[in-house]
Amino acid sequence: MAVAAMTVALGLGGVLSLRATDRAATSSVEDLVHRRARTVAAWVMAVGIKGVSWAPYGYQMTQVMAADGRTVVASAGMEGPAMLDAEQIGLAKEHKTVFTIRLADGTEAAAGGVGINLDGKPLTVLVAVPLEDRLRSYETTRQILLVGLPMLVVLFGGVVWVVTGSALRPVAALRQAAQDMADSAQGRRLPVPDARDEIHDLAVTLNGMLDRLAEAALRQRSFTADAAHELRSPLASARAQLEVALTYPSGVDWVETARGISADMERLTRLSEDLLALARLDGMTGRPDPGGPADLGVLAGTIAERFHAARVPVNVVVQDARDRPCAVLAAAAPHDVDRVLTNLVANATRHAAGAVVIAVAAVDGEAVLTVTDDGPGIPAQDRERVLERFTRLDDARDTDAGGAGLGLAIVAETVRHYLGTLTLEDADPGLRVSVRLPSATEDY
């Protein structure tokens, strides 16, 4: 395409160059005809007809014509009829028009004239200039273009081929490396060219994408392994109880066995719901779909009512920055905030010693949700780790007490999705979990 475009451009340039050359040569010849005609006219006016001699000027194609068309005086070989007819002579005198004529010997020439008045007699001075120089210049230019333009096209094509091949060589290397890269070669990356150009940026971007894919694959394998392990535990427990009951049917308390299996099924249900919630959060990309606003005060009251039978009381405090009751609206979906609160309160009631407090406030344009318990708290060095999936601290390894380790992970992913922040800090005693979400209005 580049060579074709260059060929068209050079072809148009060649045509325009030929036209410009022809126009310039024609203009030069016309100027020469006018200049010679004026020179001869001034000479005739100065010396008269009888004193005319062409030798000093070397003008070989000159005629001085009378008004009746007779040739009064002419240079050698031009004694015959006028080189221009009557109409052309009139145009030549009045408009300084130059005509292309063919002389008796076949020579092409440009002819023009100028009118004079000598001793009361109107005369016309006609001068002709051969067109050989103009034709020679045009032909020379045409030959140069006919030979030079193809050579330029070939040269340009070669340069484009070499430069394009050199520029695309890193792309070929990237393609080959990507083709040779196996799925198991997590550590391999595409070669990055030294040149700081678009190909370099492409390689860096692709390697960044591969890093993210490798990280996602590693996280997925770890998550799958942890999920399989957590799912296998209640299934194994239920299966063991059933096998014991079937082996010794007469000595088994079937009611107690059913209760145990029901507890395992309840744990499986909770774990499945948590896994589905995490999968939904992982699939949510781009700007969050608000689906709100969420009234944190109303949701906190609903959660407190839901946990009315917990082993410790759950209290709710809703206030603004000046400790006055108010409606606190967050730019988030109510069902997601409900899950966040449920997980935080469930975790707090599991570890609290005497009470759990849910505080809701509007601070600096943000909706702030705080869940505080008076339990043992979490050491500072473990507060980042507990936000990871399937993480349980040593004092929460008991599955009945500690859950599957997905609650805080779901909270962290949900808050991150809605562009909020999550912090864990000492409540002295206990743990305070603060969630900050962008605030919203009623018409959000």
Q: What SS3 string covers the chain?
A: CHHHHHHHHHHHHHHHHHHHHHHHHHHHHHHHHHHHHHHHHHHHHHHCCCCCCCCCCCCCCEEEEECCCCEEEECCCCCCCCCCCHHHHHHHHHHCCCEEEECCCCCEEEEEEEEEEECCEEEEEEEEEECHHHHHHHHHHHHHHHHHHHHHHHHHHHHHHHHHHHHHHHHHHHHHHHHHCCCCCCCCCCCCCCCCCHHHHHHHHHHHHHHHHHHHHHHHHHHHHHHHHHHHHHHHHHHHHHHHHHHCHHHCCHHHHHHHHHHHHHHHHHHHHHHHHHHHHHHCCCCCCCCCCEEHHHHHHHHHHHCCCCCCCEEEEEEECCCCCCCCEECCCHHHHHHHHHHHHHHHHHHCCCCEEEEEEEECCEEEEEEEECCCCCCHHHCCHHHCCCCCCHHHCCHHHHCCCCHHHHHHHHHHHCCCEEEEEECCCCEEEEEEEEECCCCC
Distance separating alpha carbons of residues 304 and 342, to the nearest angstrom = 9
pLDDT of residue 58: 54
Contact of 110 with 37, CB cutoff 8 Å: no
pLDDT of residue 105: 75
Contact of 281 with 321, CB cutoff 8 Å: no
Residue at token pair 């962290």: 412
Give buried/exposed letters for 103-129 (b at 16+ CB in 10 A, else e): eeeeeebbbbbbbbeeeeeebbbbbbb
Residue at token pair 């992913």: 413
Contact of 110 with 33, CB cutoff 8 Å: yes
Alpha-carbon dihedral 360, 363, 365, 371, rounded to 10 degrees = -30
Contact partners, residue 407, CB within 8 Å, separation at least 6: 274, 343, 344, 346, 347
pLDDT of residue 401: 47
Contact partners, residue 270, CB within 8 Å, separation at least 6: 403, 404
What is the Cβ-side half-sphere exposure of residue 242, based on CA atoms within 13 angstroms? Answer: 10
| Tens-digit pLDDT string for the chain (444 aa) | 888 998 899 889 888 988 888 888 888 888 888 888 888 888 888 888 776 665 455 566 888 888 888 888 888 777 788 888 888 888 888 878 889 888 777 778 888 889 888 888 888 889 888 887 777 777 888 888 888 889 999 999 999 889 888 888 888 888 887 777 765 555 677 778 777 778 888 888 888 888 888 887 887 787 777 777 777 878 888 888 888 888 888 888 888 888 888 888 888 887 788 778 777 777 666 556 656 688 898 999 999 999 988 889 999 988 754 555 567 888 888 988 898 998 899 889 988 888 999 999 888 888 899 999 998 888 888 878 888 777 766 554 344 444 567 778 888 888 888 888 999 998 888 899 999 998 886 555
pLDDT of residue 290: 59
Q: Which two tokens stand for residue 314?
A: 């759950």
Single pTM value for the model? 0.51
Strands of the sheet containing 356-363, edge to edge, are 314-320, 356-363, 366-373, 431-438, 421-426
